[in-house]
């Protein structure tokens, strides 16, 4: 009993890997709040979280790709085209729920196409999506005649989907935030508590060893790409419901904040590891930087510069940690 107790007492308590990122978020909020106390109002913080909820959702899913050693450049335009197709179908007379299904299904199909092209062309996903991003953008522009898709019919705007996401239904916490947090719980369980997630991490750690171990690497890549497409499709219909419209540039500027959120959150670019909750915290850091500079009174363009510097810092820290681990082993 004594030896057992001593052994247990000698075990070091290990903090969650997202702790440092969470501390950074709290410090950042504290700095902005000290300079502009109105920033700390619960309403402002909830609005900030809601405005970055879709980017956070995409960041949570791109962790799957980064964990596998891949990266998708087209998800923003998948989101755009999914939202456009959903909006056009609703305007054409389809029930709102049918439009939602069309948007998510279209996103899933586009993601799966990325995966199939990657596997059969034997190219990195980043190269394939460099091309498909332009294709999806072009199809979107053709579909909406290079204009905005704005559902105005009361049959659509007064539907519970649009009223809930648009804020017409009064709730203590924005419904979009509740939905995204539930999605994060699902994504976390999928990556860390299922065979599918284990295989993704195994492929990211050593693709050849994973293949030799019997893991169907090609199938998994297609499935992960389809998942990214599906979540982008969900993001598209959420955007349509939240904003009430989709313009030709929607989604085009999401690449930096989404990838930045995942990297800042602690997911390495080299693959083999990933943190879903870290990406959520990372998204909030990106949001606080973007909105915080405006609150402080600095030109908004500086937000992009600061975000880039934070990304470089996060990558540098990750590299230092990896080097130390290799030396220790």
Lookup: tokens for 85: 């197709």
Which tens digit of pLDDT belongs to each residue from 116-147? 999 999 999 999 999 999 999 999 999 888 88
Show the DSSP H helices in the chain as ranges.
Answer: 2-10, 19-35, 42-51, 53-67, 75-91, 96-121, 125-143, 154-157, 160-166, 175-192, 195-205, 207-212, 217-243, 255-264, 276-296, 301-328
Whether the pLDDT of residue 191 is over 80: the answer is yes
Query: What is the structure's pLDDT at 5?
Result: 53
Please state at what angle helix 195-205 crosses helix 217-243, rounded to 10 degrees. 110
d(CA 329, CA 326): 5
- Give Cβ neighbours of residue 324 (< 8 Å, ≥ 6 apart): none
Whether the pLDDT of residue 199 is over 70: the answer is yes
Placement of tokens 């902005």 in the chain? 32
Which tens digit of pLDDT belongs to each residue from 237-250? 999 999 999 998 88
Contact 291/48 with Cβ under 8 angstroms? yes
Which tens digit of pLDDT belongs to each residue from 65-118? 999 999 999 999 999 999 999 999 999 999 999 999 999 999 999 999 999 999
- Give Cβ neighbours of residue 148 (< 8 Å, ≥ 6 apart): 245, 246, 247, 248
Collapsing DSSP to helix, strand or coil, 33 comes out as: helix
Lookup: tokens for 130: 């460099």
Phi then psi for 67, rounded to 5 degrees?
Answer: -65, -25
**How many C-beta neighbours within 10 Å does residue 131 have?**
14
């Amino acid at each position: 009993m004594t030896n057992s107790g001593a052994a247990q007492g000698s075990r070091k308590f290990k903090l969650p890997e997202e702790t440092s990122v969470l501390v950074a978020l709290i410090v950042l909020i504290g700095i902005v709040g000290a300079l502009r106390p109105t920033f700390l109002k619960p309403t402002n913080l909830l609005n900030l979280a809601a405005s970055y909820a879709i980017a956070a959702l995409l960041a949570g899913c791109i962790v799957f790709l980064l964990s596998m050693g891949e990266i998708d450049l087209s998800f923003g335009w998948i989101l755009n085209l999914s939202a456009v197709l959903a909006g056009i179908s609703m305007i054409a007379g389809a029930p709102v729920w049918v439009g939602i299904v069309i948007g998510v299904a279209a996103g899933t199909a586009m993601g799966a196409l990325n995966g199939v092209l990657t596997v059969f062309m034997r190219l990195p996903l980043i190269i394939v999506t460099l091309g498909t991003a332009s294709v999806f953008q072009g199809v979107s522009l053709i579909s909406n005649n290079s204009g905005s898709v704005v559902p105005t019919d009361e049959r659509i705007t007064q539907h519970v989907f649009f009223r809930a996401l648009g804020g017409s239904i009064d709730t203590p916490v924005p419904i979009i935030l509740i939905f995204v947090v539930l999605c994060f719980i699902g994504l976390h369980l999928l990556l860390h508590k299922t065979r599918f997630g284990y295989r993704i991490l195994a492929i990211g750690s050593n693709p050849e060893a994973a293949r030799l171990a019997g893991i169907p690497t090609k199938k998994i890549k297609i499935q992960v790409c389809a998942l990214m497409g599906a979540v982008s499709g969900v993001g598209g219909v959420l955007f349509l419901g939240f904003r009430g419209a989709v313009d030709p540039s929607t989604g085009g500027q999401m690449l930096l904040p989404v990838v930045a959120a995942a990297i800042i959150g602690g997911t390495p670019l080299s693959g083999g590891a990933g943190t879903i909750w870290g990406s959520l915290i990372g998204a909030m850091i990106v949001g606080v930087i973007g909105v915080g500079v405006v609150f402080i009174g600095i030109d908004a363009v500086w937000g992009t510069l600061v975000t880039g510097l934070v990304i470089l810092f996060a990558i540098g820290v990750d590299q230092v940690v990896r080097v130390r681990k290799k030396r220790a082993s």
